Structure 1
């Protein structure tokens, strides 16, 4: 008998590069999801396959799991994490099916990790709740895959609900569901076609290659940005940048590190401003928050690219758009566009039609 586990992708309304700094985030799940179909085997082999193009099937002995630096690490890492936590697993065959675009900043890797935990939970009758599902998927990503991401993606992929945003405080891991049905807002996501290749995943397409000499976004810079935040926190004598007060003197930091700190502090404030705007059904103010987030990601955190900035600018010239910004880790990926309700698909298609490399991934095209 087959067991199944699934998880939605996500788009983050606001709160970018704050999660690994112990900060605030406000993601919501998207309709696209990843499903893992698992069948137990009588031996101790793991056989994996995926419908994703260019990703070969994998066969690995259960007792000889090690990182392979390919898509299967996101599954094998979960197996390794579960076994280290004392869960009893046997051999299995699994097939991965997904409609979450790879490399578009929509948490394809986290969705795969969460779907894997859920599929194995059902197949092997593991006693794991949905919050632990997120923690296991995150531990796999961090320790086995080597992508030192924050916990936001796994938490929302496991705990998020359609039609709601999830305010997460990564300092204490508390969550609060925020209804989105009373604000004049619809979400569009436009894939730039530029694939980020940092070690956060895209089913492990690329590795960290370090920053450019200019400090501008380059493939692999995600882990570099995280190290910069850690360096800044260490220099300021705090555990994470969440512990830095708004009046803290940052003059001893290099100008670059001071910019990183400024982004994190201001982005945390924008999360609560966004929640307040949503709860007051104030779409224009929410749009202003989104615009300010992009400016900070571009200028202070330096994770945008000129082509992304052009997409954002084109979106913000549309009369039905409240605001737009880079979404995801940066260095490519997608643009989030907040429109008036009912306008998202038309607006996104107009923007995407200006370049053959752009693709509307949300709202999904009608069938």
Structure 2
């Protein structure tokens, strides 16, 4: 079907396809741009790109989900921020060329089932899928850390969203059967099997976010200010035993730093709980993470808090939390194995009734 759409739009056939999955972060939120630990896993929803090289430096791109499939165009070497979805593609080609990789113009059709603004890394899935298609089309030699770095530069320096590297690394390396225990400082990682006694439920709250806007970037700036006062390069450098130094910071920097330090401590504890199949401990860490994001980092919103509370009240749920950068988006819940579908349906029914919003069950896939 997408081959036909490509032909309708561009008058030819795609020669390659690139793809990347969305991700749900189990725990470790707002730690990646502070040099800390994260624990994402892949979700079934993906972004795919059908691409064909051209004989010039023109780029023509279209999205199945945005602009009613209208074709947008720009020229390699003349990338500029336009304030729309094409900025992610333009940022990728801008920094791919800046880092010395040779490629030409192309036509590309993009289709995605990763919901935009859901906290499930739709932007990184787009960046990495475009890069994977360009690698295949032009024979580029890029390893996952390089792909992730270029994607992050596109998001940070071209789009203007000061995100960390977790999303791009997850889009490159995460799979559905394991969680990627990633150290964002040195990009070392371990694949940790998901606990056999549990399943995941991921629900989009129906409240979307935009990380290129001010609130997310303000949290980054607050972390930088806390680092300056603490005399460290990154909040990763503050151990959990040194929280007294954090508590002495002025408001709100004390709470912002406290979240990062305690959240970074929760990630390896969550890994240990997963390896031990200790679902009660893992669920408690989910709950503590959400409370910290709500109260210290202040990135939750009332609708998401309600969705988390409804999920926690279910007898088959071990724990639940906001996942992703916040200001809307999705929750992830750890539930008893075999109960995921029923839990998701119960929770979304109650949430829709109480909030008036329309939630979407993303995991398990319907």
TM-score scaled by structure 1? 0.91
Shift of 1:131: 2.4
Distance in 2 (alpha carbons) for counterparts of 1:187 and 1:249: 36
Residue aligning to 2:115: 101
Q: Which has the larger helix fraction? A: 2
After TM superposition, the structure 1 = structure 2 runs for residues 91-130 of structure 1, keeping only pairs within 5 Å, are 91-130=105-144
1:280 and 2:276 aligned: yes
* Residue 357 of structure 1: how far off its partner (Å): 1.6
Looking at structure 2, the residues matched to 189 and 343 of structure 1 have their Cα atoms a distance apart, in angstroms, of 13
Does the alignment pair 1:89 with 2:103?
Answer: yes
> Once the 2 structures are TM-superposed, how far is the Cα of residue 255 of structure 1 from its aligned partner?
2.6
Contact 2:145–2:187 at 8 Å: present in 1 too?
Answer: no
| Structure 1 Cα separation of the partners of residues 251 and 279 of structure 2 | 34
Gaps of 5+ in 1: 200-207, 209-219
What SS does the aligned partner of 2:67 have?
Answer: coil
Alpha carbons 2:148, 2:172 under 8 Å: kept: yes
- State the shift of 1:341 in Å: 1.1
Could you tell me which runs of 5 or more consecutive residues in structure 2 were left unpaired when the two chains were aligned: 1-13
Identify the match of residue 235 of structure 2 among 241, 266, 283.
Answer: 241
CA positional deviation for 1:349 = 1.2
Mapped partners of 2:201, 2:312: distance in 1: 13
1:275 and 1:82 map into 2 onto residues whose CA distance is 34
Question: Superposition pairs for residues 234-273 of structure 1, below 5 Å?
Answer: 234-245=228-239, 246-247=241-242, 248-273=244-269
- Distance across 2 between alignment mates of 1:250 and 1:132: 34
Distance 1:304 1:337 in 2: 16
Matched residue, 1:290:
286
Q: How far apart are 1:252 and its partner, in Å?
A: 4.2
In the aligned structure 2, how far is the partner of 1:85 from the partner of 1:91? Answer: 17
Contact 2:30 2:325 in 1 (8 A): yes
Aligned residue in 2 for 1:48: 61
Distance 1:251 1:130, change over 3 A: closer
Residue 84 of structure 2 aligns to a residue in which SS? coil
SS at structure 1 position matched to 2:77: helix
- 1:358 aligns with 359
RMSD value over aligned CA atoms?
1.3
Q: What is the number of residues matched between the two proteins?
A: 345
1:201-227 CA-to-partner distances (Å, cap 9, x unmatched) read xxxxxxx2xxxxxxxxxxx31111111
Q: TM-score w.r.t. structure 2 length?
A: 0.92
1:51-200 paired onto structure 2 within 5 Å? 51-54=64-67, 56-180=70-194, 182-199=195-212
CA distance in 2, matches of 1:346, 1:110: 30
